[in-house]
Amino acid sequence: MQATDIANPDYFHKVVDCQWACPAHTPVPEYIRLIADQRYADAYMVNWHSNVFPGILGRTCDRPCEPACRRGRVEEEPVAICRLKRVAADFKGDVSAMMPRPAVQRNGKRIACIGAGPAAMTVARDLAPSGYEVVVFDGEARAGGFIRSQIPKFRLPEAVIDEEMGYVTDLGVETRFGQRVASLKAILAEDWDAVFVGCGAPRGRDLDLPGRQEAAANIHIGIDWLSSVSFGHVTKVGRRVIVLGGGNTAMDCCRSARRLGGTDVKVVVRSGFAEMKASPWEKEDAIGEDIPILNFMVPREFLHEDGRLVGMMFEKVHAETDAKGRRQLVPTGEQLIRIDADDVLVAVGQENAFPWIERDAGLDFDARGMPVVDEVTMQSSNPRVFFGGDAAFGPKNIIWAVAHGHQAAISIDKFCRGEDVKLRPPPMVTLASQKMGIHEWSYDNDVSLDLRFKVPHQEKSRALASIKAEVELGFDLALAFKEAQRCLNCDVQTVFAPKLCIECDACVDICPVDCITFTENGEEAELRTRLNAPAHHLFEDIYIADGLKTGRIMAKDEDVCLHCGLCAERCPTGAWDMQRFLIDLAQVSPQREHSCAR
Amino acid sequence: MTYLPKPRLHHPELPRNDLGFTRRDYEGAISTLCAGCGHDSISAAIIHACFELSLPPHRIAKLSGIGCSSKTPTYFLGNSHGFNSVHGRMPSVLTGANLANRDLIYLGVSGDGDSASIGLGQFAHAMRRGVNMTYIVENNGVYGLTKGQFSATADRGAKNKSGVANNDEAIDLVSMALQLGATFIGRGFSGDKTQLVPLIKAALSHRGAAFIDVVSPCVAFNNHAGSTKSFDYVREHNEAVNFLDVILSRAEIVTEYAPGSVREVTQHDGSVLRLRKLAEDYDVSDRIAACAYLQHRHAAGEIVTGLLYVDPEAEEMHDYLGTAIEPLNGLMEAELCPGAGALAKVNAGLR
């Protein structure tokens, strides 16, 4: 194998699994250390810089970081990264002084953002402080988009949305709320230098089955029903409720129904339990509120009597793998199952709809009716129009919307300067030794053996009594500290200097997870078979260093390294060092001309 | 050394041996030796060997004297019996323990000061008595605890850290063990565990006095140019006579070798030592030839390593003495007080 090029920013970035997995590349271990250090405001600002909505995401994020967390590979469960983010938001105090100031001088460029969801608000936050005049349009009276209309208040209190949207509008962003944009052509005809479309995926899929028309009064599209609940238009639901669908919207629907009078709420899903799209913790929470999840049942008919819905018929199926290895749901041949219900909530997916974008507005659409958007630059086929969030590639989640927003803002900035949007700015990387003394490091390298702590929940009877009572109470400071200590500090990297190594094996002997091997070089596939411990996770790199006196190589499997620093402590020559890797991904900044990257 | 205990978390696929233990279960407390000390590698090799042999930790007794090397039993086999004895007196204590309970596996750990200076007499007598044990000397050629004076195993002409040459002839413990009748003799290097681990495994499964001299560089006081026990010097002058595999059961033997290149020695307990020859004509069962070979290579400046001598049919101390098979702590009143008839018989034999 070739020696590893540790100067490539991606190499160590990838070792920080959580940060690499986060679409917005939030420096997770960095803010977790700040929480352990009781610097909640600083922890919040590290988050805010990367993901803009720490308080919102700390309650609602899809947490791609947690399945990636190294802790989950060496122990049972990952660090509760998402809930620690909420700790930073809950205990930060007043951070207004740490926020950027509105630009003193405008640069004369005008940007229109369509929609006030997370993607558009990220674009606004990134561009406004550098002098852009950003105007955000939204049909609703307040910012937030789907965050406000779809996420039930018992998961995300309104005050949190108001606060974090406020930090963006305080940057001198103009809002035109209560104005739904009806025509892209009309917008393009105005003198905007660039237009960002972040209007979400606003149409819930319907289910066209027998009885759909006749029982229409008691059949509701999930996302529409959720927003009616959110804005107070719907305040009760029938006693017996069927929720169709296995995604997070279905989970929000069933739990909302439980709070609005539904005492017998069931979720019915076509697929198996494991294949459901809902996050595992959302399924857990629903089950915890006495909502059964019935799997492998395909809806066949809405039953109605005298124009009123009375129930539904379902067909039992099971999963089979066909000759081509594809998984298919095949009817079991059993009798159809009848479930009585007063209301049905249909949450079987969303589709994008752009009724306000004229097909002759100069944008290309693909066969599925989605705009053609560059995945890196977020630019559409009309160079002046950029997309992000669910509007770009269909329904994803908030953290992806934020990531899109950052990229779109960079593109818009480059576009307005007349630069090539395809040339992306490089990240800022710092790698600094954490050595403080012979056995002292600037980070807490003692690996905690605690198992994951559970977030305290509101008592069930109280939680179910109100649609607005927040269910999760968040970690208190004592629990937060203990959970923070579970973080392995994967951003403190093991950096190896082969010239200093005397091949004494001290690091090999001390490593608690056997990740270091000194051996003859070979091809990766073969080399992986003769390391000191199995190295099956091909995604995790092997750190290779050559130039040793014996002609062997040092091969370190990054997979389960605890970043405990014992290799560096046992090293007599300082060939191993623990160095903190900080990667600051490029964002639009007012001082861009003076910044440098190395 | 480090201030932190080694984290208990381990690799998720860490293998288990026949007893259900992982290698980590054979570890001890965290080492307080200098960072990079060769002794820590030897501790790791002992841990590997005991794990691979599936030895029950509570059936092992580890004994040592005084010195850096003699501190190491704290750092391995944390669930075994341990005895940290007086300087140079480990062999006596081990012999006594063995006489009282022959059922335990005895592992003596000593250093060049503990065995070649203050304990030289003890070393010699334990060897000639054929005590069933594994005796490891962690040999760094210096007194590390007193800041780097030459020890009795330092080679003549070797230089200390300040550049002064040693004028005294070195004691070669391997040659002594050969002369004194040890029945398993090997030499290893702390920087080469692929060689050392099988040597320790073979020694632990040998019945009789097994001695291993392990060259173990002292990173603090004896790892400089001019030292003959530095990592670089030993790597350059290491002349292994064979490569050893220890095979615990016949069924595992699958690899084919060219005829004549491999020799297999079956030990008392059925384990097979498979020796792949590196030095042509070296015969591990010829004590006299081994002595000559060692002298010869030493004169050429080479350090001979590998399994140097083994007698698979060796007898041990209990065979010579005809002692009770049952450990003393297992002898009950019936055996200890056999009654007037037995006494009369003994008395009659003395008339």
Length of chain B: 351
| Strands A516-519, B238-240: pairing kind | unpaired
| Strands B303-310, B184-189: pairing kind | antiparallel
Examine the domain organization and report whether A522 and A569 are in the same domain. yes
pLDDT: which is higher, A591 or B286:
B286
Domain extent for A149: 100-202+352-416
Q: Is residue A141 part of a domain?
A: yes
- Main-chain dihedrals φ then ψ at residue A442, nearest 5 degrees: -75, -5
**Are residues B214 and B140 in contact, defined by beta-carbon separation less than 8 angstroms?**
no
Tokens of B263: 């020799």
Task: Report pLDDT for A597.
Answer: 42
Examine the domain organization and report whether A126 and A226 are in the same domain. no
Beta strands in chain B (DSSP E): 60-64, 81-84, 105-111, 133-139, 142-143, 149-150, 184-189, 209-215, 238-240, 242-247, 262-266, 272-277, 303-310
Examine the domain organization and report whether A221 and A108 are in the same domain. no
Q: Is residue A442 part of a domain?
A: no
Report which residue type is found at B122. Q
Q: Which of A56, A60, A75, A70 is nearest to A28 (CA)?
A: A70
Task: Report pLDDT for A590.
Answer: 56
Q: Which of A515, A500, A495, A504 is nearest to A568 (CA)?
A: A495
- Beta-carbon contacts of A482 under 8 Å, excluding residues fewer than 6 positions away, are A448, A450, A453
- CA-based torsion, A8, A11, A13, A14: positive or negative: positive
pLDDT 10s digits, B152-200: 999 999 999 999 999 999 999 999 999 999 999 999 999 999 999 999 9
Task: Report pLDDT for A368.
Answer: 82
Q: Is residue B266 part of a domain?
A: yes
Quote the CA–CA distance of B179 and B197 in Å, as a whole number.
25
Helices (H) and strands (E) in chain A — how many of each?
Answer: 22, 24
A446 contacts in B (CB within 8 Å)?
A: 4, 7
Examine the domain organization and report whether A331 and A358 are in the same domain. no
Among A502, A550, A576, A577, most B C-beta atoms within 10 A, so best to mutate, is A502
Task: Report pLDDT for A186.
Answer: 94
The ipTM estimated for the assembled molecules is 0.91
List, in sequence order, the alpha helices (H) in A381-527: 390-393, 398-416, 460-465, 477-484, 506-510, 524-527
Examine the domain organization and report whether A463 and A579 are in the same domain. no
Q: Is A316 helix (H, G, I), strand (E, B) or coil?
A: strand
Beta bridge partners of A112: A135, A195
Task: Report pLDDT for A328.
Answer: 87
Range 187-216 of B in CB contact (< 8 A) with A: 190-191, 193
| Strands A542-545, A174-177: pairing kind | unpaired
Q: What is the CATH number of the domain that holds B113?
A: 3.40.50.970
Residue B331 has pLDDT above 90, yes or no: yes
| B270 burial via Cβ count (<10 Å: 0-12, 13-18, 19+) | exposed
Work out the minimum CA distance from B306 to partner chain A, whole angstroms: 19
- Main-chain dihedrals φ then ψ at residue A9, nearest 5 degrees: -55, -30
Work out the minimum CA distance from B181 to partner chain A, whole angstroms: 33
Examine the domain organization and report whether A469 and A503 are in the same domain. no
Q: Is B238 helix (H, G, I), strand (E, B) or coil?
A: strand
Quote the CA–CA distance of A178 and A558 in Å, as a whole number.
52
Beta bridge partners of B142: B150
CB contact under 8 A, B9 and A75: yes
Quote the CA–CA distance of A480 and A453 in Å, as a whole number.
9
Examine the domain organization and report whether A104 and A50 are in the same domain. no
Q: Is residue B7 part of a domain?
A: no
Numbered residues of chain A with Cβ closer than 8 Å to any chain B Cβ: 73-75, 439, 445-447, 449, 502-506, 508-510, 512-515, 533-534, 536, 549-550, 560, 562, 564, 566, 569-573
Q: What share of chain A is helix, strand, coil (3-state, %, to 5)?
A: 30, 20, 50
> Which stretch of DSSP H or E encloses residue B295?
helix B287-299
Q: Is residue B131 part of a domain?
A: yes
To which residue do tokens 């007898």 refer?
B315
Number of domains chain A contains = 4
B24 contacts in A (CB within 8 Å)?
A: 512
B38 contacts in A (CB within 8 Å)?
A: 504
Task: Report pLDDT for B256.
Answer: 57
List, in sequence order, the alpha helices (H) in A52-157: 54-60, 65-68, 71-74, 81-90, 118-127, 146-149
Examine the domain organization and report whether A71 and A115 are in the same domain. no
Task: Report pLDDT for A416.
Answer: 96
Indicate the average pLDDT of chain B: 93
- Beta-carbon contacts of B219 under 8 Å, excluding residues fewer than 6 positions away, are A502, A504, A572, B34, B35, B36, B37, B38
Work out the number of other CB atoms within 10 angstroms of the CB of residue A150.
22
Instruction: List Cα–Cα distances, A234 to A151, A229, A262, A563, in angstroms.
Output: 15, 5, 13, 52
Task: Report pLDDT for B82.
Answer: 97
Looking at the partner chain, which of A73, A502, A564 has a beta carbon nearest the beta carbon of B7?
A564
Q: Is residue B340 part of a domain?
A: no
**Are residues B323 and B102 in contact, defined by beta-carbon separation less than 8 angstroms?**
yes
Examine the domain organization and report whether A221 and A341 are in the same domain. yes
Instruction: List Cα–Cα distances, A359 to A39, A197, A385, A387, in angstroms.
Output: 51, 15, 14, 16
Last residue of a domain, one of A310, A332, A351: A351
Domain extent for B277: 23-321
Quote the CA–CA distance of A102 and A129 in Å, as a whole number.
5
Looking at the partner chain, which of B1, B4, B44 has a beta carbon nearest the beta carbon of A446?
B4
Round the CA-based radius of gyration of chain B to a whole number and report it: 21
Q: What is the CATH number of the domain that holds A79?
A: 1.10.1060.10
Work out the minimum CA distance from B110 to partner chain A, whole angstroms: 20
Residue B227 in contact with partner chain A when CB distance is under 8 A = no
Quote the CA–CA distance of B45 and B196 in Å, as a whole number.
7
> Which stretch of DSSP H or E encloses residue A499?
none
Q: Is residue A432 part of a domain?
A: no
Quote the CA–CA distance of A436 and A578 in Å, as a whole number.
11
pTM of the model: 0.90
Number of domains chain B contains = 1
Task: Report pLDDT for B253.
Answer: 52
Q: Is residue B17 part of a domain?
A: no
| B22 burial via Cβ count (<10 Å: 0-12, 13-18, 19+) | middle
CB contact under 8 A, B193 and A505: yes
CB contact under 8 A, B34 and A75: no
Quote the CA–CA distance of A446 and A486 in Å, as a whole number.
10
Round the CA-based radius of gyration of chain A to a whole number and report it: 26
Length of chain A: 598
Task: Report pLDDT for B259.
Answer: 57
Instruction: List Cα–Cα distances, B119 to B111, B134, B181, in angstroms.
Output: 10, 16, 18
Examine the domain organization and report whether A252 and A276 are in the same domain. yes
Q: Is residue B335 part of a domain?
A: no
Quote the CA–CA distance of A355 and A347 in Å, as a whole number.
21
Q: Is B88 helix (H, G, I), strand (E, B) or coil?
A: coil
CB contact under 8 A, A514 and B14: yes
Quote the CA–CA distance of A164 and A149 in Å, as a whole number.
16
CB contact under 8 A, B11 and A73: no
Q: Which of B295, B287, B126 is nearest to B211 (CA)?
A: B126
Residue B16 in contact with partner chain A when CB distance is under 8 A = no
Last residue of a domain, one of A318, A336, A351: A351
- Beta-carbon contacts of A314 under 8 Å, excluding residues fewer than 6 positions away, are A268, A294, A297, A298, A299, A300, A336, A337, A338, A339
Examine the domain organization and report whether A45 and A149 are in the same domain. no
Question: What is Dmax (Cα atoms) for chain A?
Answer: 89
Q: Is A5 helix (H, G, I), strand (E, B) or coil?
A: coil
Q: Which of A539, A540, A442 is nearest to A489 (CA)?
A: A442
Quote the CA–CA distance of B267 and B53 in Å, as a whole number.
14
Task: Report pLDDT for A596.
Answer: 46
Q: What is the CATH number of the domain that holds A172?
A: 3.50.50.60
Examine the domain organization and report whether A315 and A368 are in the same domain. no
Quote the CA–CA distance of A99 and A405 in Å, as a whole number.
19
Q: In chain B, which residue's Cα lies nearest the Cα of A74?
A: B12
CB contact under 8 A, A510 and B6: yes
- Kindly list the averaged pLDDT for each block of 10 residues, start to end, along chain A of length 598: 94 97 97 97 97 96 95 95 97 95 91 96 96 95 93 95 96 93 93 95 88 94 93 93 95 96 96 93 94 96 93 94 86 94 94 85 87 95 95 91 97 96 94 90 94 94 92 96 97 97 95 96 94 91 95 96 95 96 85 43
